[in-house]
Amino acid sequence: MKTEELSLALSKKFGKKVKNVAYQLTQLQGGTIADVKLISGIATTVDGEALPYKVALKTQRSELFAEQRYFEYELYTSGFSELFTAEFRCAECYHAEIASDKTEVRLWLEYIEGAISKDLTIEMREQAAEQLGRFQGRIYAHKPSLAEKIDYATSPDFMQKRYTEWGSKSDGYEYIRTSNCDIPKHLCEMLIEMDAQASEVFENLKKLPLVLCHRDYSAHNIFYSDNKIRIIDWDWFGWGYLGADITSLIADSLDSKGYMGNLATHYRRIVPAYYKGISEYMDISSIDNTYMWKMTLLSFGYRFVRRYMRDAQAVKEQQVIALQQMFELKSELQKR
């Protein structure tokens, strides 16, 4: 950690020049492509004022990326964060530093506190879905020049590549087609049927408006703070398919005991909330009832299979519950 960068970040945070800093470091959850630490302590300004502080230091290294790009660094330094609102925004970045050889980036970020992960109630998740829809719709409708110039973000076919990775090129794809598979047959047939439709589904997706996606819009990246939504970890943001982000919020339906029986409840409440937000800015009346169901199954169907194949019995049972609820949802949606 570089104290001169910390002083710059705190000067931006407080709007006052910081002269000295005392600090302590606490390791935070950083995911697979970053190291994140909480930096806390006392900052002393040039006027002698002692100010307590908390900031997050996120360090990214190029060897952890499949693509040698720092999307989040470029998001903050492009001024893209200005497109957010008070109700829905990313963490504020106080200072961003990139190594001269571009092997490392350090982001000095706002430390956000609030409900996150399993502490998010269904009402909080609904608000997160509606605000995301409103954010994506507003950018689509007004087409700000800044957003139009974001050519460094991940490509629209990100979801399709992930489907290939988790689906047709995975061991799960072969497993559900073997006699050794003990996942209920009707659930395997549901996945196989979707495989047969996948190319057509992705071609139809390309006809819909592109929206700016977070790419990991799950509960562990969403804070509910002071009745507002704060989103962290924009490592893979980019243009993508309408509704793709919401699939993470639907599938990420574990309760505090790890029970996935509320996936259908999440679907029934989160999808209408998302549609409510985005429909303020675009006409989505042509989207059929099974659209988000297909998106969710394409995104997570084989992930459930993979967990079933590799994890303990209790986890296996939860994957079957998730797939069964997807099966029942399809029939429910087709009757509407």
Residues 67 and 151 occupy one common structural domain:
no
Residues 209 and 257 occupy one common structural domain:
yes
Q: Which of 61, 93, 110 is the last residue of a domain?
A: 110
Give the whole-angstrom CA distance, residue 137 versus residue 278. Answer: 5
Q: What is the pLDDT of residue 256?
A: 44
Residues 84 and 195 occupy one common structural domain:
no
The answer to whether residue 38 sits within a structural domain is yes
Residues 99 and 161 occupy one common structural domain:
no
The answer to whether residue 231 sits within a structural domain is yes
Which domain does 298 fall in, by range?
A: 116-334
Residues 106 and 120 occupy one common structural domain:
no
Q: What is the pLDDT of residue 100?
A: 85
Q: What is the pLDDT of residue 147?
A: 59
pLDDT value at 253 more than 80: no
Dihedrals phi, psi of 53, to nearest 5 degrees: -150, 160
| Residue ranges in the chain assigned as alpha helix (H) | 3-14, 71-78, 122-142, 145-148, 158-166, 171-175, 185-205, 244-251, 263-278, 291-310, 313-334
Q: How many domains does the chain have?
A: 2
- The tokens describing 172, both together, are 């799960």
Q: What is the pLDDT of residue 195?
A: 95
Give the residue-averaged pLDDT of 195-218. 92
The answer to whether residue 13 sits within a structural domain is no
Residues 49 and 196 occupy one common structural domain:
no
Q: Environment class of residue 78 by beta-carbon count within 10 Å: exposed (0-12), middle (13-18) or buried (19+)?
A: middle
Residues 53 and 122 occupy one common structural domain:
no
Residues 55 and 84 occupy one common structural domain:
yes
What is the CB neighbour count within 10 angstroms for residue 147? 17
CATH number of the structural domain spanning residue 224: 3.90.1200.10
CATH number of the structural domain spanning residue 103: 3.30.200.20
The answer to whether residue 245 sits within a structural domain is yes
Chain segment 18-69, per-residue pLDDT in tens: 999 999 999 997 666 789 999 999 999 999 999 999 999 999 887 655 554 6
Chain segment 137-153, per-residue pLDDT in tens: 998 888 766 556 666 55
The answer to whether residue 12 sits within a structural domain is no
Give the residue-averaged pLDDT of 271-276. 98
Residues 195 and 269 occupy one common structural domain:
yes
Name the pTM for this structure.
0.91
Give the confidence band of 257 by pLDDT, cuts at 50, 70, 90: very low
pLDDT value at 322 more than 70: yes
Return all residues near 307 (Cβ < 8 A) that are at least 6 apart. Answer: 315, 316, 318, 319
